[in-house]
Amino acid sequence: MTQFFGHNYIGGQRSATGTVKLQSVDARTGEGLPYDFYQATAQEVDAAAKAAAAAYPAYRALSAQRRAQFLEALADELDALDDEFVALVCRETALPAARIQGERSRTSSQMRLFANVLRRGDFYGARIDQALPDRQPMPRPDLRQYRIGLGPVAVFGASNFPLAFSTAGGDTASALAAGCPVVFKAHSGHMATAERVADAIMRAAHTTGMPAGVFNMIFGAGVGEALVKHPAIQAVGFTGSLKGGRALCDMAAARPQPIPVFAEMSSINPVIVLPQALHARAEAVARDLVASVLQGCGQFCTNPGLVIGIRSPLFTAFVQQVAQLIGDQPAQTMLNAGTLSSYGNGLRRLLGHPGIEHLAGSPQAGNQAQPQLFKADASLLIDGDSVLQEEVFGPTTVLVEVADQAQLRAALNGLKGQLTATIIGEPGDLRQFSELTPLLEQKVGRILLNGYPTGVEVCDAMVHGGPFPATSDARGTSVGTLAIDRFLRPVCFQNYPDSLLPDALKNANPLRIQRLVDGLPSRDPL
Amino acid sequence: MTQFFGHNYIGGQRSATGTVKLQSVDARTGEGLPYDFYQATAQEVDAAAKAAAAAYPAYRALSAQRRAQFLEALADELDALDDEFVALVCRETALPAARIQGERSRTSSQMRLFANVLRRGDFYGARIDQALPDRQPMPRPDLRQYRIGLGPVAVFGASNFPLAFSTAGGDTASALAAGCPVVFKAHSGHMATAERVADAIMRAAHTTGMPAGVFNMIFGAGVGEALVKHPAIQAVGFTGSLKGGRALCDMAAARPQPIPVFAEMSSINPVIVLPQALHARAEAVARDLVASVLQGCGQFCTNPGLVIGIRSPLFTAFVQQVAQLIGDQPAQTMLNAGTLSSYGNGLRRLLGHPGIEHLAGSPQAGNQAQPQLFKADASLLIDGDSVLQEEVFGPTTVLVEVADQAQLRAALNGLKGQLTATIIGEPGDLRQFSELTPLLEQKVGRILLNGYPTGVEVCDAMVHGGPFPATSDARGTSVGTLAIDRFLRPVCFQNYPDSLLPDALKNANPLRIQRLVDGLPSRDPL
């Protein structure tokens, strides 16, 4: 068995100067794993942020090609993490091996996708307005713009994706691609996993000659606050709870120098089941919907937490089908005790609300999560009752029956911001309910038709974002290549000689990237 | 003489239900102008935000072509504002007629530039990843992304650009281009000007059939707070003081739903004068620099407030030249009494600091601003003393002499974020001081070589932004076409039939825009 050190990583070195030790636990048994992790001291948090700041000038000065090589080497290192690693992740998270294998390959593909973005060069946002010396009444100087990384980024790993939204996950990948060194705050739910992945990052950084401090990792409860408040940190990426995300946003906004936070937080991901779809395929919809609700023990940001249909005998039958399917499902082990406890609290909130009826599910007890189904009065949505706006993270969903098309609109208007909304409908439904798309566009980051929101493709067109409280800034995404934009800012050069310009803006266009030249896209040299 | 009503504009209607009346004043004499303006009541602020929200679905649904026609009609209306209008603006701001004529044409050109952006279509950020039904282990669904406007935007006009950064200025232009209705808070320094420009906007909106509420305007002191806190408002654009901008940022961050604020606030715009340039052309540099410092009574966001040189007999002579030129300049009238009072306070702060020496300028007194020159110890920069980090808005600048190249670096490292930095240097200087460009890139939004920062070209490549406190978000700009990005957010469609997709994402590419299709830029239909 491989050894674990449990050390923080600061400026390319291991560091364990503190006395507080943390233990990782077996998610199934609750039993402590035989490795200690050293909570970062205040000095270590400071040193990690400073190491990232020290690495920034050298790291951002590397060519995009060099950064791409780093990300690709890291992808290879991730792919090489073996069965023993997979077993470790499973042990810390109670997620099945097939899921972790899939997530490993998703995480390495994500690195390669950002390497591709770096080679493609559109991330530079290169724009050139050439001088117009004869323009009247005033000449125009030569002006050229490209984008650079903001500086060191603090990344907070999520519990539910120990690889894809964690140590070497999407926030880290997009920050590193942008030229921003990272200080990663490891999630307490999978610290051994984090150490293994951090080792992989260190190997890739070493092999490709990256500056020390390009990636740093700290362990510990409460160390995040000091990190977000550290003057060297210039942006934050976070995936987790509304409460946690909002707290980080508030801290970041209250700094002497406020910094941007992209926090992906809370979404109930409404699914709207339209009448003709129920007529054509109620059984398949019920089955697929329940599979999406229960997948991974409901521990997805895009888990469908709300299902809306229009009152009809067909919808009543559909509700019964869903109730039966949910009632038949076994309990599952959640990521950790905290998640299970939050799930229990969320269920109690639903059970205790007079406008909500419990339709299926064994009483929640013991150390596993029981799948549950609820039904809520449409008025709760229409009046914006907070009980339906809060995500209950786990294998449960709430059905809402609306009276008619007008009430459907009213109910959807009552929703806060979401990561996704899904429409299940036949062509006739889509004609009849054509107002849904523009309405949902105002509420969500991604609209799906006849699919299920769990499963977030990593590609150029993906948006894993949306209006508050789904995220803290609807302009960003934490999945897909647009995620890099969160960590870039434009810089303009006026009247600069060609030799002093960055390659992306030189006349010869040595990177052969597309640029906006005098208002027209072009790959030509000037 | 044309009549002024002094009414707020709400949902396409005039409104004056309040009892508090405000008066505009002649900036030269301080005499009240014979028009009253009605401070918006709390109900009117609410109604204005709701009118913008009501206009949003219809306005954002208009084609980019229709929105471009609106902006162009507005540009024509601005161009048609006559000499009487110019005289009015001059009276309210004490700015010269030629400047206002130039600003009028800059403001209309800005509208036309955004119309061009709308026609070009790159603002959509269209991305298409086509379905891969046979992919293993999982098929990929069809995913398409474009960008839509965030929703109603609150815009706060600046005092110093009564046209270009005000009622129909850059923030309004970029928000309207993005598909966001605007609620404009008129600056108290030019309310009659604002009414005339708002009339022009209303005419253009009417002519081109825009929804009522696409543009709203409110008058009053203190109404901005209610506006920023209004739940219908989804973003804020502001140009003004650090104190005012920071207060709006804090309010926006503390809302139940936090919203993004782009506040352009405080910049001292360092100018670095290098040795060989002094050797080659000290006299011209002194003359051009002083002209930039005094232009428009120093009331530019990009006014050079700090001039840094390396100790030498040449630099000593240069300082004397600058002192003589500044000492010879007449006093000028500022925008309003508040600006003059702030200038006086800023000067007292400099005069009262033991590390700062007064080199030139008559004692500040009376109702005009006296040009002033100061010299500060390099240690104030190196140690980050706040006295040099705060903009003194008006016709003054501070010289700093550093001992050598190393101290120059240290001094520049001590700077906070800036809109601009300027290097005055000969080719030999640029070779010797090659570290300056990467260092300044980390501090500013725009680096100029052998030019002066006053004068901000409106074009694709301009960045009028920069790290805090220059702005509240270094990722944005308030001048140039990239300004539209502040008010856009991405939306993704998964598995949508062609007929239900927005035109920007349809297979046939009916808008003929460039899109990123399966990772490659393309204008082809699919």
User: What is the per-residue pLDDT across B173-209, written as a single tens digit (0 to 9) for each?
Assistant: 999 999 999 999 999 999 999 999 999 999 999 999 9
CB contact under 8 A, A446 and B472: no
- Which residues of B are less than 8 Å from A250 in CB distance? 253-254
Nearest CA in chain B to A484: B475
Q: Where are the alpha helices (DSSP H) in A334-482?
A: 337-351, 378-382, 386-389, 405-413, 427-432, 436-441
Query: Which pLDDT belongs to residue B182?
Result: 98
Q: Going by DSSP bridges, is the β-strand pair B153-156/B32-38 parallel, antiparallel, or unpaired?
A: unpaired
CB contact under 8 A, A460 and B127: yes
- 3-class SS of residue A85: helix
Q: Which of residues 259-318 of A touch B (CB under 8 A)?
A: 260
Q: Are B202 and B210 in contact (CB under 8 A)?
A: no
- Which residues of A are less than 8 Å from B480 in CB distance? 145
- Which residues of B are less than 8 Å from A488 in CB distance? 475
Interior angle at CA A346, CA A344 and CA A349, nearest 5: 110
Partner residue opposite B468 with nearest CB, options A257, A417, A450 = A257
CB contact under 8 A, A469 and B444: no
CB contact under 8 A, B460 and A257: no
CB contact under 8 A, B475 and A488: yes
Q: Are B8 and B51 in contact (CB under 8 A)?
A: no
> What phi, psi does A15 have (nearest 5°)?
-145, 130
Query: Which pLDDT belongs to residue A116?
Result: 98
Closest CA to A376 of A394, A361, A389: A389
Nearest CA in chain B to A439: B57
Q: Which of residues 29-58 of B touch A (CB under 8 A)?
A: 56-57
Neighbours of B151 (CB within 10 A): 25
CB contact under 8 A, B460 and A127: yes
Query: Which pLDDT belongs to residue A1?
Result: 53
Counting Cβ atoms within 10 Å, is residue B88 exposed (0-12), middle (13-18) or buried (19+)?
A: buried
B432 touches A at CB < 8 Å: no
For residue B3, name the pLDDT band (cuts at 50, 70, 90).
confident
Q: Which of residues 455-514 of B touch A (CB under 8 A)?
A: 455, 457, 459-463, 465, 467-469, 472-475, 477, 480, 482, 485, 488-497, 500, 514
Interface ipTM above 0.85: yes
Chain B interface mutation, best of A468, A471, A492, A523, highest count of B Cβ atoms under 10 Å:
A492
- Which residues of B are less than 8 Å from A457 in CB distance? 129, 140-141, 143
In the set A195, A264, A391, A401, the catalytic residue is A264
Q: State the Cα–Cα distance between residues A179 and A484, nearest whole angstrom.
A: 10
| Conformational region of residue A367, where left means phi above 0, alpha means psi within -120 to 50, and beta covers everything else | alpha
pTM surpassing 0.95?
Answer: yes
Counting Cβ atoms within 10 Å, is residue B453 exposed (0-12), middle (13-18) or buried (19+)?
A: buried
Q: What is the arithmetic mean of pLDDT over A131-137?
A: 94
- Which residues of A are less than 8 Å from B455 in CB distance? 138
Q: Are A481 and A474 in contact (CB under 8 A)?
A: no
B264 annotated active-site: yes
- Which residues of A are less than 8 Å from B474 in CB distance? 150, 489
Chain B interface mutation, best of A130, A494, A526, highest count of B Cβ atoms under 10 Å:
A494
Report the gap between the CA of B471 and the closest CA in chain A (Å). Answer: 10
Q: State the Cα–Cα distance between residues A127 and A137, nearest whole angstrom.
A: 24
B138 touches A at CB < 8 Å: yes
CB contact under 8 A, A102 and B137: yes
Partner residue opposite A473 with nearest CB, options B102, B260, B451 = B260
Q: State the Cα–Cα distance between residues A339 and A369, nearest whole angstrom.
A: 10
How many beta-carbon pairs below 8 A join chains A and B? 213
The overall average pLDDT reported for chain B is 96
Partner residue opposite B145 with nearest CB, options A151, A461, A488 = A461
- Which residues of A are less than 8 Å from B490 in CB distance? 445, 463, 465, 475, 477, 482
The overall average pLDDT reported for chain A is 96
Partner residue opposite B445 with nearest CB, options A451, A465, A492 = A492
Q: Is pLDDT at A348 greater than 80 in this prediction?
A: yes
Q: Which of residues 397-426 of B touch A (CB under 8 A)?
A: 416-417
Q: Which of residues 189-248 of A touch B (CB under 8 A)?
A: none
For residue A478, name the pLDDT band (cuts at 50, 70, 90).
very high
CB contact under 8 A, B442 and A57: yes
Q: What letter represents residue A500's amino acid?
A: L
- Which residues of A are less than 8 Å from B437 in CB distance? 500
* CA gyration radius, chain A: 25
Q: Is pLDDT at B211 greater than 90 in this prediction?
A: yes
Q: Which two tokens stand for residue A313?
A: 């005998």
Q: State the Cα–Cα distance between residues A375 and A373, nearest whole angstrom.
A: 7
Q: Is pLDDT at B263 greater than 70 in this prediction?
A: yes
Chain A interface mutation, best of B386, B473, B489, B499, highest count of A Cβ atoms under 10 Å:
B489
**Percent of chain A scored above 90 by pLDDT?**
96
- 3-class SS of residue B301: coil
For residue A186, name the pLDDT band (cuts at 50, 70, 90).
very high
- Which residues of A are less than 8 Å from B459 in CB distance? 129, 140, 143
- Which residues of A are less than 8 Å from B485 in CB distance? 475
Q: Which of residues 85-104 of A touch B (CB under 8 A)?
A: 102
- Which residues of B are less than 8 Å from A436 in CB distance? none
Q: State the Cα–Cα distance between residues A147 and A122, nearest whole angstrom.
A: 10
> What phi, psi does A144 have (nearest 5°)?
-135, 135
Q: Are B372 and B365 in contact (CB under 8 A)?
A: no
For residue A221, name the pLDDT band (cuts at 50, 70, 90).
confident
A301 annotated active-site: yes
Q: State the Cα–Cα distance between residues B456 and B474, nearest whole angstrom.
A: 17
In the set B264, B297, B391, B401, the catalytic residue is B264
For residue B1, name the pLDDT band (cuts at 50, 70, 90).
low
A191-207 vs A83-93: helix crossing angle, rounded to 10: 140
Q: State the Cα–Cα distance between residues B205 and B12, nearest whole angstrom.
A: 9
Report the gap between the CA of B117 and the closest CA in chain A (Å). Answer: 9
Report the gap between the CA of B4 and the closest CA in chain A (Å). Answer: 33
Q: What is the arithmetic mean of pLDDT over B504-510?
A: 98
Q: Going by DSSP bridges, is the β-strand pair A21-25/A32-38 parallel, antiparallel, or unpaired?
A: antiparallel
For residue A198, name the pLDDT band (cuts at 50, 70, 90).
very high
Chain centroid to Cα B36, Å, comes to 28
CB contact under 8 A, A437 and B500: yes
A428 touches B at CB < 8 Å: no
Q: Are B436 and B410 in contact (CB under 8 A)?
A: no
Q: Is pLDDT at A403 greater than 90 in this prediction?
A: yes
Query: Which pLDDT belongs to residue A82?
Result: 96
Report the gap between the CA of A20 and the closest CA in chain B (Å). Answer: 34
